[in-house]
Amino acid sequence: MTRRALVLGGGGITGIAWEWGILAGLAEAGIALSDADLVVGTSAGSVVGAQVANGLDPSARYEAQLAPPDGELAGTFGTGTILRYGLAMLAGSRAPRKVRQRIGRLALRVDGDASARVRVIDSRLPVKDWPSETALRITAVNAETGEFRVFDRESGVPLVHAVAASCAVPGVWPPVTIDGGRYMDGGARSATNADVADGYDKVVLLAPITRGIGPMPGAGAHVERLRRRSAVALVSPDPDALRAFGRNVLDPAKRADAARAGRRQAGAVAAAVRAVWSD
């Protein structure tokens, strides 16, 4: 039996919108990535993945991205945060877990009520329960130990908490407490964590961010390894989409443009995705 996996990478608010645009456009072309046996979500991809795995209609979710942000505030990366993040990634030891611990120290410095952030995610996520049929895996990193963790319906963790943890961008949002640990964005390990889909026969990866930094593998490295055993299609933003994203991927004012760019791009990538996804 052929097993198919959909991997949804991180990329902020614009990444969420772009992924919905791609998914809606592909669905219109007769390619239902929601038929996946496994959905893997990291950061922005965890928000989209939770909805896809629960069967929400990509076209309806795409339309939701076009609504005005209505005063929703943008998250920001200050210059100091960017500098500290870069030093944590590039300086000193190349051991991935130690680097993630450095990033975790940056994440733990963020002032704020993590429970309030969970409530924000809860208010924006139209599904609250783990899917009963499609396997869903959501990635996060323990900010204190650097340990990589994959949450699923067997983890005993509420879906909203898992998504909030995966979206806790270091230096922007406070880590989320789960099982006594403080968890931050799964993108601290990889922007896609596509290797979680290892062993599946067909893999489609939507990656708003493809690059790797320091010991963080980029999408290309994951794809190279997956292709040893699987048919893989990698979809990343085209120049039009990158322009739509702008400089701040956490800016809700860019959401609609990013969604429309994804919808337009879907036509250009449909043949390559169909070649992998179809039986």
Residue with tokens 């500290």: 84
Is residue 111 part of the annotated active site? The answer reads: no
Is residue 185 part of the annotated active site? The answer reads: yes
Catalytic residue selected from 43, 46, 166, 230: 43
Catalytic residue selected from 46, 185, 190, 251: 185
Selection from 28, 114, 67 nearest residue 255 by Cα: 67
> Distance between CA atoms of 209 and 73, rounded to whole angstroms?
22
What are the residue numbers of the active site?
43, 185
